[in-house]
């Protein structure tokens, strides 16, 4: 790190450098003037070190040091000395040494910053994003950026060592009406035509497999013009890989080993056992989610057989019409869930389309309203199956299977949070496999791909693609950790006939399929190896590694919920000349 301006970094100095002359640069973090002695904490990305200006410092240097204020940029020369025992600061990495200043130069001054450049700064997020260059000076934010860099390097080293080639795919591609909304880029040379920024490198990485590249990876920038949530951004990064001549176990093994390597080197955590696996159906039945959080129990039970003939019509009708009654047990929740909170839980399941929430509180003089509708035998059988004891609450939802499972799965997560069941610093991974290939969209009156249109159906289900598409399973796999999908992938269709059948099942005419994906269908004619891949969300991975809840805090220059960059003020109007070059005209009415 030696340059013209410095020969060491502030945070790297140790007792080994005592007696040495050093040249440092950085920002003034704090200054403290004690009459004849001035202390300055100098900060760079490696950390901080205390500078001392005292009677041993030349007079002209002392005068210059008096001018220093927070966030000034300095170049300092001095001797590393040991701190007195009583002044050692165990909270600083360099807390047992300091630098006696012999020369000091102000490289640039600073106005008073609009935010505090400290980790405990409480400025609102909009101000932080407006002055992102100051926000990024904070030690915590710099650690985030270092972690991203480290993960990138670990990924590259691991995948190259495993025979992968890093290959860039185009940013300017063809718009794809399917899936999320594209960001469009108008062509200057072909007026009326548009590029689409890639939502993923999916088609190009499949083309690379057809091209014989065998193993590809890319730390890829991707774009989706969709409404933002806490864990979404319009532009994001993914670790993208693809492999030829593989089955799903091959892809899952390499991907799992990569994640284990990252956790070992970043967190010091070793996962020696293989990550468990469960099918999509098992995940839904046990946890009500295809992203199950395994850090706690509270698994879902099916009470349908017990209540199918109940006098309680809500239960009976759900089972009679092909649905079910699903339940979870909240241990010791009687004294922890208030009447108001119970109402909130009822409202929660309704958000996921459940008609209501039934419950039995295990205490004397239970206030459960359903007890007057079910028999004592049904009550005892429910309690026995759930293993309920005094102080527990049994929660139940009756509806069609999808609504009952999804709503009580969300209730499970909410209760775990309320009851403090989720351990800190715990990572529970699982693979979820055998997803449905398609899902029916009642609003559009057609099927959509559960993952994407290029996912290989399970071999034994291919014959059902035209006759019973809902029974077809995908050769797909998601890696889930702590209830979050960290990454997902699949084997890909490597046969033109099957790909055309897939498009047909999705409602494409042959003409439309060739119009949108003709280059892939054409390529599939010329010898395509069995291949598959996976993509991990880099931003989610960094959030997970660092325990950060907001995706904007792990990206150097993120966008807000309305896609704005508050620092650069993007997006912005284009000039009239630019619009004319592109053959565009704005309609003021729109």
Confidence band of 125 (pLDDT split at 50, 70, 90): very high
Q: Does 260 share its domain with 160?
A: yes
CATH assignment of the domain containing 311: 3.30.1360.30
Domain assignment present for residue 478? The answer is no
Q: How far apart are the first and last CA of the chain?
A: 54
Mean pLDDT throughout 439-457? 86
In eight-state DSSP terms, residue 193 is: -
CATH assignment of the domain containing 64: 2.40.50.140
Look at residues 82, 108, 134 and tell me which one is the last residue of a structural domain.
108
Q: Does 407 share its domain with 535?
A: no
Look at residues 422, 450, 469 and tell me which one is the last residue of a structural domain.
422
Q: Give the count of domains, the chain.
A: 3
**Each residue's pLDDT tens digit, 237-256:** 999 999 999 999 999 999 99
Q: Does 63 share its domain with 189?
A: no
Domain assignment present for residue 153? The answer is yes
Q: How far apart are CA 422 and CA 408, in angstroms?
A: 17
Which residues lie below 8 Å from residue 503, measured CB to CB, with a gap of 6+? 453, 510, 512, 513, 517
Q: How far apart are CA 456 and CA 207, in angstroms?
A: 16
Q: Does 538 share its domain with 410?
A: no
Which residues lie below 8 Å from residue 258, measured CB to CB, with a gap of 6+? 155, 158, 159, 239, 536
Q: Does 79 share its domain with 154?
A: no
Confidence band of 21 (pLDDT split at 50, 70, 90): very high
Domain assignment present for residue 126? The answer is yes
Q: Does 206 share its domain with 261?
A: yes
Query: By the 8 A CB rule, do 24 and 99 touch?
Result: yes
The pTM score is 0.93
**Each residue's pLDDT tens digit, 392-407:** 999 999 999 999 999 9
Task: Write b or e for each residue in 187-221: b if 16 or more Cβ atoms lie within 10 A of its Cβ, otherwise e.
Answer: eeeeeeeebbbbbbbbbbbbbbbbeebbbbbbbbe
Q: Does 383 share its domain with 410?
A: yes
**Each residue's pLDDT tens digit, 167-215:** 999 999 999 866 678 999 999 999 999 999 999 999 999 999 999 999 9
**Each residue's pLDDT tens digit, 552-566:** 999 999 999 889 999
Q: Does 174 share its domain with 244?
A: yes
Q: Does 143 share its domain with 173?
A: yes
CATH assignment of the domain containing 156: 3.30.930.10
Q: Does 228 share its domain with 359?
A: no
Look at residues 367, 398, 422 and tell me which one is the last residue of a structural domain.
422
**Each residue's pLDDT tens digit, 331-358:** 999 999 998 999 999 999 999 999 999 9
Helix/strand/coil for 180:
coil
Residue span of the structural domain in which 90 resides: 10-108
Helix/strand/coil for 142:
helix
Domain assignment present for residue 5? The answer is no
Mean pLDDT throughout 119-145? 97
Q: How far apart are CA 394 and CA 360, in angstroms?
A: 5
Average pLDDT over the chain, rounded to an integer = 94
What one-character-per-residue DSSP string does 333-368 give?
A: -TTT--HHHHHHHHHHHHHTT-S--EEEE-STT---
Helix/strand/coil for 190:
coil
Q: Does 156 share its domain with 229?
A: yes
Domain assignment present for residue 372? The answer is yes
Domain assignment present for residue 457? The answer is no
- Residue entry with tokens 């805090």: 553
Query: Which residue in 431, 449, 536, 538 sits closest to 492, CA to CA?
Result: 449
Domain assignment present for residue 524? The answer is no
**Each residue's pLDDT tens digit, 487-511:** 999 999 999 999 999 999 888 899 9
Confidence band of 590 (pLDDT split at 50, 70, 90): very low
Q: How far apart are CA 198 and CA 201, in angstroms?
A: 6
**Each residue's pLDDT tens digit, 427-447:** 999 999 999 999 888 777 788
Domain assignment present for residue 503? The answer is no
Q: At 267, list the tokens.
A: 């967190």
Q: How far apart are CA 465 and CA 455, in angstroms?
A: 13
**Each residue's pLDDT tens digit, 359-377:** 999 998 888 999 999 999 9
**Confidence (pLDDT) at 228:** 64
* pLDDT surpassing 70 at residue 230: no
Residue 92: exposure state from Cβ atoms within 10 A (0-12, 13-18, ≥19) = middle
Mean pLDDT throughout 275-302? 97
Q: At 485, list the tokens.
A: 């999908």
Helix/strand/coil for 563:
coil
Q: Does 98 share its domain with 135?
A: no
């Amino acid at each position: 790190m030696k340059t013209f301006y410095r020969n060491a970094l502030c945070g790297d100095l140790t007792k080994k450098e005592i007696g040495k002359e050093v040249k440092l640069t950085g920002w003034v973090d704090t200054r403290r003037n004690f009459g004849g002695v001035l202390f300055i904490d100098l900060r760079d990305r490696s950390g901080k070190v205390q500078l001392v200006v005292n009677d041993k410092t030349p007079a002209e240097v002392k005068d210059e040091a008096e001018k220093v204020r927070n966030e000034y940029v300095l170049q300092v020369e001095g001797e590393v000395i040991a701190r007195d025992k009583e002044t050692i600061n165990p909270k600083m990495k360099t807390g047992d040494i300091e630098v006696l200043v012999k020369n000091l130069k102000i490289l640039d001054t600073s106005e008073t910053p609009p935010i505090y450049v400290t980790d405990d700064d409480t400025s609102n997020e909009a101000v932080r994003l407006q002055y992102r260059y100051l926000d990024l000076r904070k030690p915590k934010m710099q650690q985030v950026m270092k972690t991203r860099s480290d993960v990138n390097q670990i990924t590259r080293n691991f995948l190259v060592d495993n025979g992968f080639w890093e290959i860039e795919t185009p940013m300017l591609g063809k718009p794809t009406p399917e899936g999320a909304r594209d960001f469009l880029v108008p062509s200057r040379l072909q007026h009326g035509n548009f590029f689409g920024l890639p939502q993923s490198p999916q088609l190009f990485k499949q083309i690379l497999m057809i091209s014989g590249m065998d193993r590809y990876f890319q730390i890829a920038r991707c774009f989706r013009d969709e409404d933002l949530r806490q864990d979404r951004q319009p532009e994001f990064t993914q670790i993208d890989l693809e492999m030829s001549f593989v089955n799903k176990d091959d892809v899952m093994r390499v991907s799992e080993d990569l994640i284990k390597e990252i956790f070992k080197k970043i967190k010091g955590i070793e996962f020696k056992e293989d990550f468990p696996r469960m099918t999509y159906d098992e995940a839904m039945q046990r946890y009500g989610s295809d992203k199950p959080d395994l850090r706690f129990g509270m698994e879902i039970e099916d009470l349908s057989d017990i209540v199918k003939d109940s006098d309680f019509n809500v239960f009976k009708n759900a089972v009679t019409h092909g649905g079910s009654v699903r339940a979870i047990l909240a241990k010791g929740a009687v004294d922890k869930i208030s009447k108001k909170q119970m109402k909130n839980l009822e409202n929660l399941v309704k958000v996921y389309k459940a008609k209501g929430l039934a419950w039995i509180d295990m205490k004397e003089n239970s206030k459960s309203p359903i007890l007057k509708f079910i028999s004592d035998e049904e009550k005892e059988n429910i309690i026995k199956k759930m293993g309920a004891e005094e102080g527990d609450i049994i929660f139940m939802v009756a509806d069609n299977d999808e609504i009952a499972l999804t709503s009580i799965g969300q209730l499970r997560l909410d209760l775990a949070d309320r009851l403090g069941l989720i351990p800190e610093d715990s990572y529970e991974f699982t693979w979820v496999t055998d997803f449905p290939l398609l899902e029916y969209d009642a609003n559009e009156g057609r099927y959509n791909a559960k993952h994407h249109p290029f996912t290989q159906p399970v071999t034994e289900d291919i014959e059902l693609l035209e006759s019973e598409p809902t029974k077809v399973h995908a050769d797909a796999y998601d890696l889930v950790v702590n209830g979050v999908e960290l990454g997902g992938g699949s084997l890909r269709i490597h046969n033109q006939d099957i790909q055309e059948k897939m498009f047909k099942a999705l409602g494409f005419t042959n003409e439309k399929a060739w119009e949108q994906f003709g280059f892939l269908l054409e390529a599939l004619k010329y010898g395509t190896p069995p291949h598959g891949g996976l993509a991990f969300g880099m931003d989610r991975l960094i959030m997970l590694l660092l325990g950060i809840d907001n995706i904007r805090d792990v990206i150097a220059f993120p966008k807000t919920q309305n896609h704005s960059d508050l620092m650069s003020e993007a997006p912005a109007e284009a000039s009239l000349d630019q619009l004319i070059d592109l053959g565009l005209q704005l309609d003021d009415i729109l």
